[in-house]
Amino acid sequence: MQKGYLLLSDGSLYEGKVFGKSDICCGELVFNTSMTGYPEILTDPSYNGQIVLMTYPLIGNYGVDESWNESCGINATALVVKKLYEGPLPPGRISLEVFLEKHERCGITDIDTRALTLHIRRCGSQNAVIFPSERMDEARTLLSSFPSITERDLIDGVSVHEITKDPELGEGFVKAPEKPECRIALADYGVKRSIIENFYRRNVAVTLLPPTFKSTDVLDQGYAMLFLSNGPGDPALLQESVAEVRKCIGRLPVCGICLGHQIITWALGGRTVKMTYGHHGGNHPVKDLDTGKTFVTSQNHGFMSDMASLPESVHLWFVNANDGTVEGLYDREKHVRSVQFHPEASPGPQDATWIFDSFLEEVR
């Protein structure tokens, strides 16, 4: 490994060693508090355009089995760790370094991730660049002109471009049901395989729609529900999708997760706002306001719903127990239900998988 640097847009500079693809990598820097699950995190399409900083100090100690991947490859722009594990691995697994090399992604190790995380908490998520030491000037030039996450279309490269029935998820995942109870239309903004798998497990067939779908692709087509997936970027940029979803609301159940939840917020008449540093990790407590119960969730988002902007008919379902932000909502009359967190986990706790049953209750 060669000497390299991590440079933030506010001028903060951290020295380390680069691994994986030796190149200049630029994106929004966010921190993830998960202790494990780095293969699932790196392959989560919602991280497209972002550099992921792992707060847990040792990363890579159990290697990578690509059957764990949440998509076809690594979507995160780069990875930042305090200590990259380079020791022996279980048979059949590849090292994290080889995994990044194979998918042409950058990494940097020997970074003071505790200091860097505290800096992000104080100053907020921001663009950053990872680069080999000899390319300092080139990296500074790229970072100075690199667009913010609110100006980038990050969905096109992680979603389907044509209608796809019952996609194959690959080794280790459940297959589509042969005699499904119903079929749903799933708008793909960068869907994780585990989300589709959770519908398959419940005997539900899935038809993926590209993010450019029209309401006519959904309405009167025999679908039991329109489901909006997770995905990267700013939901405020997706007003064409918002308009099509709005046409579907009230005509059939509409549910969503993460970015899908945020699009539903806009479609119901609300707005979203950018968070200072977002929620990324597998240990976020969420309170169910209907039952009073609190459970632990997996999360990955940098934007949140503004509850004050929503009409009175929309009910606040979940809140984050740490900061009180919106984590879920529903409209009983219109059969709309959505959550900001990831009930499928992967990685993270599976306390919230029952949310998929709640979505399907809107159908039944």
Catalytic residues: 258, 342, 344
Beta strands 336-339; 254-257: pairing state: parallel
E strands within the chain? Answer: 2-8, 13-20, 25-32, 50-54, 58-59, 78-80, 83-84, 106-109, 126-132, 164-165, 182-187, 204-209, 226-228, 254-257, 271-288, 294-306, 315-320, 326-331, 336-339
* Tokens of residue 24, six digits: 């200049």
Give the span between the Cα atoms of 40 and 67, in whole angstroms.
10
**Coil, strand, or helix at residue 329?**
strand
The angle subtended at Cα 66 by Cα 60 and Cα 71, nearest 5°, is 110
Retrieve residue 141's tokens: 């030039």
Integer CA distances (angstroms), 303 to 66, 262, 341, in order: 29, 8, 12
Sign of the alpha-carbon dihedral angle for 120, 125, 130, 133 = negative
Burial class (CB in 10 A: 0-12, 13-18, 19+), 329: buried
Give the whole-angstrom CA distance, residue 196 versus residue 319.
Answer: 25
Residue 4 near residue 14, CB atoms below 8 Å: no
Q: Rounded distance, CA 173 to CA 221, Å?
A: 28
